[in-house]
Amino acid sequence: MAIDTVLLAVGPMDTVRAPELAETVLEIAEPLGAKVVIGHAFTEDEYEDIHEDIGFDARADDVDPDEVAAERAPVPELAERFEDAGVDYEIKGALGEVSSKVVDMAVDVDADRMVVGGRRRSPAEKAVLGSVSQEIILSAPCPVTYFRDLDVME
């Protein structure tokens, strides 16, 4: 199975590990000449919390999710790293329930591989709060590389 498209699914917690995520994706994409899709899904509540900070004044229903994703950390830093490496990339955003939107994004871009970050949580926390990365892994239409950073805790 050839790897032509790698989806890097990120969220706001990934800002602290953006260099490591970029390096992980480059290890896959660069030697294969694969395109990278930087995907950032966010809920309407998240958008409402950050829309002024990123320079948007429209309601969530009236925004282009791709434009919002392009402004939301860590996407600009990741885009710069892929550009510097000479890797073809694009930015995709999605508004809605994060795990299902990321899986939909993988289908839409015909991803051959996904890279998703996660943080360390106890089994009790996962049971009570759920795990976005776990839902993505279980529903993904392609193999997933899970990047766990033990230092990132909520």
pLDDT in tens, the chain (154 residues): 699 999 999 988 899 999 999 999 999 999 999 999 999 998 888 877 776 777 777 676 678 889 989 988 999 999 999 999 999 999 999 999 999 999 999 999 999 999 998 765 555 544 444 578 888 988 999 999 998 765 544 4
Q: Are 90 and 37 in contact (CB under 8 A)?
A: yes
Domain 5-149 coded CATH 3.40.50.620: yes
102 CB-near residues (< 8 Å, 6+ apart): 7, 9, 39, 41, 94, 114, 116, 132, 136
Tell me how far apart the alpha carbons of residues 107 and 120 are, in angstroms, rounded to a whole number: 27
Tell me how far apart the alpha carbons of residues 108 and 66 are, in angstroms, rounded to a whole number: 14
Q: Classify each residue of 125-143 as buried b or exposed e, where b means 16 or more C-beta atoms within 10 Å of its C-beta.
A: eeeeeebbbebbbeebebe
